[in-house]
Amino acid sequence: MTLVITEVSERFGCVIVGDSAITIQKKDGTYDVQWGAEKVHYSTKATMGFAVWGNACLAGKRIDKMISSFVSNLASSASPRVAGRDLAALLVDEGKKDGRSWEDLRGGVHLCGYEGHLPVLFHVHTGADPPNPQGPFKLYEDFADARSAVHLRNGYYRMFGVLFDGMQNYAAGLQNLGFKWPFEKVEDRVSYYSIMVDTISQTLRAAGKSPSVGGAISGLAFNRNGIQVDKRLQGGNEQFCREPGTMMSL
């Protein structure tokens, strides 16, 4: 499991935050959690951001590294819509090479940027939550006009939803005390979501659950002018897709 959040608005641009956990389900049914996944990505040339969640490996390769390579090769003329379609096609091809069912390959990638003058938030994924059927990766244009603040959240999104509602009330209470956080600066938005990801991680630990959200938290923010906040962290553990007989999840 994981937790990645992507928020898009005219005011703050695109804000992406994610943990770095890799959850490994072994043949005997036990779980192990390692750190070092790169779930947050940015294209300087195309001014576009990405957040990856779900299945960690395709055809024996790290999907986060696959996304990183795709992003680094985007042209400056690329649009989110075209990039999303190309990314979906790439992931479908890799999924076919992998040979497992799409249920086992369930996952997705948030994609945000600008289409003309509009901020947009799209989502490449294998389908809605089970028991809905899973199929090949496809581009969904969730928010083709994201001038008003919208966000996507994947992974422990139900726990996040409860916390998000509480944090909204908390922020409103702070304003009554004379604090305007987190609505003044884009750095505030990155901190806002980073705190929530870390809180979910600590909650799982306190409840004695598998700490499948956690590790270093990566975050970034950008607008039409380019990167505004860059707190991305490089991933480690290069070998995790080569462990036989295991299911890996971001």
Q: What is the CATH number of the domain that holds 118?
A: 3.60.20.10
10 Å Cβ neighbour count for 242?
A: 11
Mean pLDDT of 212-228: 95
Which residue type, as a one-letter code, is found at position 14? C
CB 189 within 8 A of CB 221: yes
Q: What is the pLDDT of residue 235?
A: 64
Q: Which of 49-53, 138-142, 213-217, 228-232 is predicted with the least confidence, judged by mean pLDDT?
A: 213-217
Highest averaged pLDDT of the listed ranges 4-8, 167-171, 215-219: 4-8
Give the model's confidence band at 243: pLDDT under 50 very low, under 70 low, under 90 confident, else very high: low
Q: What is the pLDDT of residue 237?
A: 65
10 Å Cβ neighbour count for 96?
A: 12
Task: Report CA dihedral (208, 212, 214, 218) to the nearest 10 degrees.
Answer: -160
Query: If you average pLDDT over every residue of the chain, what do you get?
Result: 93
* DSSP tag of 242: G
Ramachandran quadrant class, 9 (left: phi over 0; alpha: psi -120 to 50; beta: rest) = beta
How much of the chain exceeds pLDDT 70, in percent?
96
Ranges of H-type helices in 1-73: 63-72
Structural domains of the chain, count:
1
Q: Which domain holds residue 64?
A: 3-249
Mean pLDDT of 184-205: 96
10 Å Cβ neighbour count for 166?
A: 12
Is a pLDDT exceeding 70 seen at residue 3? Answer: yes
pTM of the model: 0.95
Distance CA 156, CA 169 (A): 20
Q: Which of 12-16, 181-185, 188-192, 210-214 is predicted with the least confidence, judged by mean pLDDT?
A: 210-214
